[in-house]
Structure 1
Amino acid sequence: MDATSSLGLDEYQKQAKRTDKTKDKGNDFDLPVLGLVGEVGSLLSELKKKQRDSAAYVNYENTVLEELGDALWYLAIIAEHAGIILSDVANEAFPGHGNGFFLGFQPQHVLPLNSPTARFEKTLLRLAAATGGLASGIVDGKPPNSGSLQSDLAAVFSLLVETANEAGVTLETAARENLIKADDRWPIERSYPPLHDDDFPEDEQLPRELEVKIYERPVDGGKSYVLQRCNGIFIGDRLTDNIMKPDDYRFHDVFHYAYAAVLGWSPVTRALFKRKRKSQANVDEGQDGARAGLIEEGLATYVFGIAKDFDFFHGQKSGDLSITFLKNVRQFVRGYEVEKAPLWLWEEAILQGNHAFRFLQENRRGLLKLDIQTRSLTIEDLPL
């Protein structure tokens, strides 16, 4: 999509449809309507936080822009499910704009969002009321293709435009950011980003192929620790769970290997195999140093804690993990070279790492195979 050209509502609806996972669930309308209600509620919540915390509340403007984009997405999906063209909704809300209705049409006020106005508050409350009216119609079984549904959508759209005006942004900006976020999570085509160490000497690159034998060994007292061998050499520390109630965290190095294989990033794996990029002191210190390793360990612990609550993502497939969870994961690595890795690639690393972890939980040993060129981590039986 050309960033310099105007984004038409119907084009936006077409692109939004591509990431719709609510179709054929329930009555086709409950989930997107709930989503719209939730996004409007989030806008009200952001306003409340800003009023309460004032200057201490950060990222307010970006959050409002994101919530507006998400609200527009749900509106487009509701219209799509009902067979309603989004530009028809807009033309009912703002007659006279014709079929070429563009998202960037709205007149703008120079109104930075450093302090919400009373007018903005009232507009959001009216938006909440209109969204409630739309939800009420769906609950009451309003025919999906009825003119009254289009009118309800038009009322919500009109107030979204007014909300954007009061916020000092355009819906077009919100829509574009929304599509960028969707492509980050659910791209049409998946293209791996370049490896971070392609331009470094081979001895400073993460091993492009690697096999690691991982297995348990019992010790006195009924406990066990995990050993790792690569090319006949023991690597790393002897690991236990380091927790009162055992949870097999001793196998957590598979997550580091997954980051290395899929993301092409793992300061921990670099240190383990002595592949730090010492030819460039700033990279060695800033990207491969102790702090980067601690960040990765913290990330692995966070992911492990979430995964444990979801049976280590058993049965989950590509596209299933929560976008909020993935954004939180990426937040961990802000300032490091992997921060621009797309969310879908983070998901692949997490799913592959957890697949290997579940294998080790069940079998207590395995042969781990890393292939960075194909961005894959696999595991198979390790004979006794």
Structure 2
Amino acid sequence: MAIQRGELMELHEFAARAGETDLTTDPDRGLQIVLHGLAGEAGSVVSEAKKWFRDGRPPAGLAGRVSEELGDLLWYVAAAANRLSLDLNVVAEQSLTKAALNFAAELPPPSEYDAGWPDSQRLLRQMSVRFVEDNSGAVPIVRMEPLGELAERIEKNRQRKQLGDPLDDNLAIDDGYRYHDVIHLAHAAVLGWSPVLRGLMGAKRKAGDGETDRVQDGARAAAIEEGLAAFVFNFLEPDDFEATDDLLGWDLIKHVRRTVRGLEVEDQPPVAWKRTYRQAFDVFRSLRDTGGGVVELDLDARTISVAGD
């Protein structure tokens, strides 16, 4: 039955109608054909763009030809969905959800995963840390000095004046990894999450039945965060740690979100992770290039920055 001009059609109806004209009976061969067809029709659209690039102007009749190619492309999309038993409506909805998550411009309100816990087991909402580089030895070493209320908290909870242990790059080349703790600080500032920082400042959530301490603040969570910091550091190193939108693309963010699955931070949208690493490596490059500095965290504003910048 022909569709009348102006008549709307649901995607699942389009898929059903497309299936009536997908006549290959062998399942494997049929799927191969439609997948190759997808590539072919996408290539046809690219060819129109190539003509535009070559001639310096859009080719005559562009809209009509692209309309036809998109129609063919839609047929192959529907055929592929049919052969893989996918509901095209669900596929479309998931695509829109992914786009909304990936391209959202604004951060949601700040997370307080430790709301309701005793003050001593909560991350401070504002913190300052001084990074000090020591070049007196064979390799540069960096230590973190907590300032203000954070220093008081650590001295009370951990009976020490230093945040963590001094670090060098632990590598034959100087790549600045000695400053990588700024990534953990960024996790805390932008995401409200850092089992590593909680451990360093003695703010693990030990009240109650111990489940939160074991799962969210325990050794596995800290190891996951350390692994995540090392992975993103190494991923951005070839581009001098420029955390651009292109580098912080969907594939990277998808890997990051998969890595933290099962932890409280898994609910953070892609925009939050992008903002985290963009700010983290802005601060990292500043500290590396100047040999240290004071870093300020504001968990309410979801920001981390170098004082004075």
Q: Would the TM-score normalized by the shorter structure come out above 0.5?
A: yes
Shift of 1:97: 7.0
Residue 167 of structure 2 aligns to a residue whose secondary structure is: coil
Match of 2:282, as an amino acid? Answer: H
Cα distance in structure 1, aligned partners of 2:69 and 2:185: 51
Provide closer, same or farther for how the CA distance between residues 311 and 245 of structure 1 changes in structure 2, counting only shifts above 3 A. same
Residues 211-290 of structure 1: pairs in structure 2 closer than 5 A: 211-221=128-138, 223-231=139-147, 233-280=161-208, 281-290=210-219
Provide closer, same or farther for how the CA distance between residues 256 and 156 of structure 1 changes in structure 2, counting only shifts above 3 A. same
- Find 2:33's aligned residue among 97, 122, 129: 122
Output one character per residue of 1:257-302: Cα deviation in whole Å (capped at 9) or x when no partner: 0000000110000001101010131110011011111111111000
Match of 2:204, as an amino acid? Answer: K
Residue 165 of structure 2 aligns to a residue whose secondary structure is: coil
Residue 196 of structure 1 aligns to a residue whose secondary structure is: coil
Shift of 1:143: 3.2
Residue 276 of structure 2 aligns to a residue whose secondary structure is: helix
Shift of 1:342: 0.6
Shift of 1:381: 5.3
Kept after mapping to 1: 8 A contact 2:129/2:296: yes
Aligned to 1:370: 297
Shift of 1:170: 2.5
Aligned to 1:302: 231
Q: Which has the higher contact order (CA 8 A, sep 6+)?
A: 2
Aligned to 1:33: none
Cα distance in structure 1, aligned partners of 2:163 and 2:48: 63
Aligned to 1:107: 16
Shift of 1:350: 0.5
Match of 1:243, as an amino acid? Answer: L
Is residue 2:259 matched to residue 1:335? no
Cα distance in structure 2, aligned partners of 1:144 and 1:295: 54
Give RMSD over aligned pairs.
Answer: 2.3
Shift of 1:253: 0.4
The structure with the larger Rg is 2
Residues 191-210 of structure 1: pairs in structure 2 closer than 5 A: 191-192=108-109, 194-210=111-127
Aligned to 2:56: none
Residue 312 of structure 1 aligns to a residue whose secondary structure is: coil
Residue 306 of structure 2 aligns to a residue whose secondary structure is: strand
Q: Unmatched 5+ residue regions in structure 2?
A: 20-26, 53-58, 152-160
Output one character per residue of 1:228-275: Cα deviation in whole Å (capped at 9) or x when no partner: 111362221011110011211101000000000000110000001101
Kept after mapping to 1: 8 A contact 2:110/2:192: no
Q: Percent identity?
A: 32
Cα distance in structure 1, aligned partners of 2:141 and 2:83: 60
Is residue 2:278 matched to residue 1:351? yes
Aligned residues: 280
Aligned to 2:67: 150
Cα distance in structure 1, aligned partners of 2:256 and 2:98: 15
Kept after mapping to 2: 8 A contact 1:217/1:226: yes
Aligned to 1:87: none
Q: Unmatched 5+ residue regions in structure 1?
A: 1-93, 110-115
More deviation in 363-372 or 212-221? 212-221
Q: Normalization by structure 2: what TM-score?
A: 0.83
Aligned to 2:155: none
Aligned to 1:73: none
Residue 270 of structure 1 aligns to a residue whose secondary structure is: helix
Kept after mapping to 2: 8 A contact 1:193/1:341: no
Match of 1:372, as an amino acid? Answer: L
Cα distance in structure 1, aligned partners of 2:136 and 2:181: 20
Output one character per residue of 1:288-339: Cα deviation in whole Å (capped at 9) or x when no partner: 011111111111000110111111116x36x872111111122221221111
Q: Normalization by structure 1: what TM-score?
A: 0.68
Is residue 2:252 matched to residue 1:325? yes
Residue 268 of structure 1 aligns to a residue whose secondary structure is: helix
Residue 330 of structure 1 aligns to a residue whose secondary structure is: helix
